[in-house]
Amino acid sequence: MSASSPAVPDPADAALRGPSARERRARVWQMVQLAPIMAVLVLLFGGALVLAVLQSLGFAPWFGVNTFPDFGYFGALWGSSTFWVSLGLTLYYATVSTAIALVFGVLLALALVKIFPGKTFYKYLYKLPLMIPYTVGIALAVLMLSNGGMLSRLAAFAGLIDDPAQFPQILKTHYGWGIIAVYVWKQTPFITLAVYAVLLGIGRETEEAAAILGANRRTIFFRVTLPQILPGVVSSTLICFAFNVGAFEAPFILGGGFPDTLPVVAWRYFNDADYTLQLQGMATVVSIGLVAGVILFGYLAAYRRFERRMGRN
């Protein structure tokens, strides 16, 4: 709508005043168009980030704390071994579930480009988890995977166990299979969508050409198909991984308790009776951002280098 703003100069009018005036106007117009998005992201997102960093460095006059800049909160956090265990768990859940979802998603996308009966149904079906909140996935995991859940009951029905305690514990352990199951359930469709859309877009000509030249299936996949879907794979896994690192609800409900993942640790700090721990919580939250940033940046840089080596840019 803002494109219709009355401040816009008539192009003919601008042309009369010579190129420099026109350029300047174009520049202003450009800024006007970018201003709303800048305002939202810089003020809210940037503001929140800066505030989080300031607080983690001891700036919280509203709690009567102002020791800025104070690296003690980070020191205390990074100095404790449980932080590193929590970090390890956070990264473990995020990595394993992203990897599994990637494999599932690519396999599904490759199957979906085929022609088969019921394909329309599948095109609806696979997107279902994408459309519904994580909390639904968590509810389903509780129902299926807990020791009193459906799988355990089926095992009892089959005579394999006669007490819920004998069913292998899936939820509430540090192996985190419950958390991983929820992430995979929810994110496989996301990756499938990203890959499938690219597959549809590129058509099959190059694959056919490769086949005519005698390449086998494996070679076609790794030499022809994969490079084409790679950008979609990289960006969708980036988003999934980042989400998994920062997600709170699944590890909170399905996690194994202490030591928790970092977002849950931060939440517990914020809920502690001791209000000064909120700054410790901020340091935790900033650490999550830092770790996620470093890893994702590294991943992106590695991908760019790979692209360059492949001769693209």
Q: Please, what is the minimum distance in Å from the beta carbon of residue 25 to another protein?
A: 13
Nearest-10 crossing angle of helices 177-202, 81-112: 40
- Which helix or strand (DSSP H or E) is residue 65 part of? strand 65-66
Maximum CA extent, the chain: 89
Give the tokens for residue 205: 């000509």
Q: Which residues contact 130 (CB under 8 A, 6 or more apart)?
A: 186, 189, 190, 193
Scored b (16 or more CB within 10 A) or e, 282-292 reads bbbbbbbbeeb
Q: Please, what is the minimum distance in Å from the beta carbon of residue 217 to another protein?
A: 4
Q: Please, what is the minimum distance in Å from the beta carbon of residue 227 to another protein?
A: 13
Candidates 15-23, 68-76, 237-245; binding stretch for another protein (CB under 8 A):
237-245
- Backbone dihedral angles phi then psi of residue 65, each to the nearest 5 degrees: -115, 125
> Could you say which of 17, 66, 76, 82 contacts another protein (CB under 8 A)?
82
Answer yes or no: are the C-beta atoms of 250 and 179 closer than 8 Å.
yes
- 160 is a site residue for another protein (CB under 8 A): no
Q: Please, what is the minimum distance in Å from the beta carbon of residue 310 to another protein?
A: 14
Name residues contacting another protein, limited to 175-214 (CB under 8 A).
185, 188, 193-194, 196-198, 200-201, 204, 207-208, 211-212, 214
> Could you say which of 17, 24, 28, 34 contacts another protein (CB under 8 A)?
34
Candidates 15-23, 69-77, 292-300; binding stretch for another protein (CB under 8 A):
292-300
Alpha carbon distance 60, 276 (integer Å): 9
> Could you say which of 24, 123, 305, 308 contacts another protein (CB under 8 A)?
123
Q: Please, what is the minimum distance in Å from the beta carbon of residue 156 to another protein?
A: 4
Q: Is 66 helix (H, G, I), strand (E, B) or coil?
A: strand
Candidates 17-25, 68-76, 229-237; binding stretch for another protein (CB under 8 A):
229-237
Q: Please, what is the minimum distance in Å from the beta carbon of residue 116 to another protein?
A: 5
